[in-house]
Amino acid sequence: MNADEKYITQIVVYFNILHEINRKFNLILSEGYNINPYKVESMLKEITFDIYVIMPFYRKKRTSNLKLSQNGPLLIRRKRRFLSSSYNCILESKPLNKTLKDLLLIRNKSIHEAHNIRYMYSVGSKSSQIFGLKYREKCLNINTITLTPIIWYLNVTFEVLRDYVISILDKYPHYKNNAYYSELINNSFVSKLNYHAILPPYVISRFYNKPYKN
């Protein structure tokens, strides 16, 4: 296995996790009102955990600032600087700060008191219902509106990695007939979110202005 193939076999793990995040999130957005609420609760918990797996971070005790943890995809040397730059844009965004901190709270509390992380929803029309999580009686900033920007920016980030992987595969003709190659070509991350989602390009304006070439 050469260096290119090693990189692809490593990063594809995180591609698959992000695909699952999008699949579950879109299902909640489009069909949440028809799904057993315990299933929605389970999917939301899985989404919050998987976001942490793709973008590992922690909260500094003294300052409460959010910092990247050198785990997950950040253990892969290739494109590490690009991922760190992109992830830091997300972690340093004030509109997303409360949601990200609540992601950590869910992760920690689920280990010790999973029964206290429960499903909640806001009643409205089929297209305007909001599904989320609460800790005991406290409503968390984890719901289908607040999670949308985070998933959106992860999709934008991994779209760059997807294009990079395709450019690698293009160098090896024997991959042209590979099923995974076809899936990469035909599945863009930035088009994953359901049309019900509120797309938030205004939240992190500098996200689009950085030279993501490292």
Q: List the domain boundaries for the chain.
A: 3-208
CA dihedral (101, 103, 107, 110) in degrees, to 10, reads 110
Scanning the chain, the segments in alpha helix (DSSP H) are 3-31, 37-54, 80-91, 94-113, 147-169, 179-186
Identify the pLDDT of residue 154. Answer: 93
User: pLDDT below 70 — which residues of the chain?
Assistant: 32-33, 121-129, 193-214
Asked if 53 and 154 count as a contact pair (C-beta separation under 8 A), the reply is: no
CA dist 65 and 91 (Å) reads: 9
Position 84 scores a pLDDT of: 94
pLDDT at 179: 76
212 CB neighbour count, 10 Å cutoff: 18
> Partners of 117 in the beta sheet?
135
pTM of the model: 0.86
Distance (Å, whole) CA 164 – CA 150? 22
Q: What is the pLDDT of residue 105?
A: 87
Which pLDDT does position 24 carry in this prediction? 93
